[in-house]
Structure 1
Amino acid sequence: MVDCVVKDWQGADAGTATLDLSVASEDNAAHIVHRAIVRQMHNARQGTLSSKTRSEVRGGGRKPWRQKGTGRARAGSNRSPLWRGGGVIFGPKPRDFAVKMNRKERRLALRTAFQSRVDDMVVVQGFEEQLSAPKTKEVLSAMQRWGIEPDQKVLMITAEKSDVIHRSVRNVPSIKLILATNLNAYDIVLADRLVVTSAALEKIQEVYSA
């Protein structure tokens, strides 16, 4: 169980929130989080890369020259992999890169990765009402008040979809906005800082608790 300080829009302390998730043991934590990230990256691959072998390229039906007597090396096809325009030896073919991982292990890895970032996490009150219209400048100013540097990669987690927040941060390349129900280990580990609304923190514990 970890107690997190909740900050308001102005950056002042506005209470505390409790984060209590069941996580992996210290001996297995790094291993299971690594497996979850490798699985996610592999499953994101399309696997559509394809090259043609010598049997698939066009041409090559006639022997280029007779077997003996020319002084040149013997050749049976002008689509040999040794020739320009020939097929590819052991080239890539469409394949499925999917890696399986049990659902309980995936959720355990997610909880472990999330709770391991407590020191880099900023819990804030819901700030959608503070934005009367999409304002990127106001959100960036608020993040500085929360102690986040401009050059840091930020993962912002909210409980519900908000068009105002989305339009305020979509042009900032260092900020990624996701919902609490769409958490993934890769984004959690990649970010330098996590900005989590108090409602999103409750949602995470409700959805991902063991």
Structure 2
Amino acid sequence: MPSTTVYNQAGEAVEQLELSEQVFGVAPNMAVLHQVVTAQLVNRRQGNASTKTRSEVKGGGKKPYRQKGTGRARQGSTRAPQFRHGGVVFGPRPHPYHHDVPKKMRRLAIRSVLSDKVANENLIVIKDLVLDTPRTKDMLTILSKLPSSGGKKVLMMLPQRDENVLLSTRNISNAKVQHVSSINVVELLKHDYLVMPMKTVRWIELVFGEGLSAEEASARIAEDVSASAGSEA
């Protein structure tokens, strides 16, 4: 069973966390990864590039010169494609770009990337990621003490929105923060290290391991937190 070290915000190892085999221990499927990445990049395209044909260009209603007797080729409009300011032949037209991928394939691709991060020790689990006030210097201090230091690109995935963490990270060029429900293959591959609190790991295991929806996983985590708080009291 795969496992990883859990760190605190001071960069100290506090415990060892066992990860789900079916989420963080699968063999990466490169064919599915390629298909999902291609689909995601294609679906980002707006497809609104457009040009005007000769029937859409303004002007050109009058015949430029008479049909015969000039020695020149006959022309009916100055908006024909061979003229300056004329229409465009076979130019781009607005059309949708869409490549649909089954849900099972998307989830397999995410599990493949997560497993690769664990295998290469690029997944960093932190006990909790909390800042009292938004301050970039504090976030830089935390990142410098984690194994992800060294100028590499870091993606931090949070279980819920945290304004202090967002504001503290937005001026750091090699770090990005996003909600775990926005997890996608392109962002995971784009960043060298993946930093996530333990609640995020639990959310991913519930969604991609047990097949729960995002709302059900968030509710389950909230129940676990309240239950643990009650037992401690």
* TM-score for both structures, normalised by structure 2: 0.83
CA shift, 1:113, in A, is: 1.6
**Which residue in the other structure is 1:83 paired with?**
83
- In angstroms, what is the RMSD of aligned CA positions? 1.8
Q: Conserved in 1, the CA contact under 8 Å of 2:6 and 2:124?
A: yes
Distance across 2 between alignment mates of 1:47 and 1:29: 30
Are residues 157 and 25 of structure 1, via their aligned partners in 2, closer, same or farther at CA, if it must alter by over 3 Å?
closer
User: What is the match of residue 112 of structure 1?
Assistant: 112
Alpha carbons 1:21, 1:205 under 8 Å: kept: no
5+ residue gaps, structure 1, are none
Tell me: CA distance 1:145–1:82, structure 2 relative to 1, closer, same or farther (3 Å). Answer: same
Q: Give CA deviations for 1:64-121 in whole Å, capped at 9, x if unaligned.
A: 1123322333322101111111111111111110101111111111111222122212
| Letter aligned with residue 168 of structure 1 | S
SS in 2 for 1:4: strand
The share of aligned pairs that are identical, in percent, is 34
Q: 2:127 aligns with which of 102, 110, 125?
A: 125
Aligned to 2:47: 47
Structure-2 residue corresponding to 1:158:
158
Q: Contact 1:114 / 1:185 at 8 angstroms: preserved in 2?
A: no
Whichever residue aligns with residue 17 of structure 1, its letter is: L
User: Counterpart of 1:16 in structure 2: which amino acid?
Assistant: Q
C-alpha distance in 2, partners of 1:38/1:50? 23
Letter in 2 for 1:178: Q
Match of 1:140 in 2: 140
With a CA cutoff of 8 Å and minimum separation of 6, indicate the structure with the bigger relative contact order: 1
How many residues align? The count is 207
Q: What's the offset of the Cα at 1:160? A: 1.2
CA contact (8 A) 2:51 2:88 kept: yes
Partner Cα distance (2:117, 2:33) in 1: 12
- Out of 107-116 and 95-104, give the one that drifted further: 107-116
Aligned residue identity for 1:49: A
Cα deviation 1:7-64 (Å, max 9, x = unaligned)? 11111111122222536975x7111011111111111111112111111111222221
**Residue type matched to 2:141 in 1?**
S
Question: Per the alignment, do residues 132 and 25 of structure 1 end up closer, same or farther by CA in structure 2, a change over 3 Å counting?
Answer: closer
Choose 148-157 or 132-141, whichever is displaced more: 148-157
Alpha carbons of structure 1 residues 147 and 79: separation in structure 2 relative to 1, 3 Å: same
Q: Counterpart amino acid of 2:126?
A: V
Moved >6 Å (runs of 4+):
none
Structure 2 segments unaligned to the other structure (5+ residues): 212-233
1:96 pairs with 2:87: no
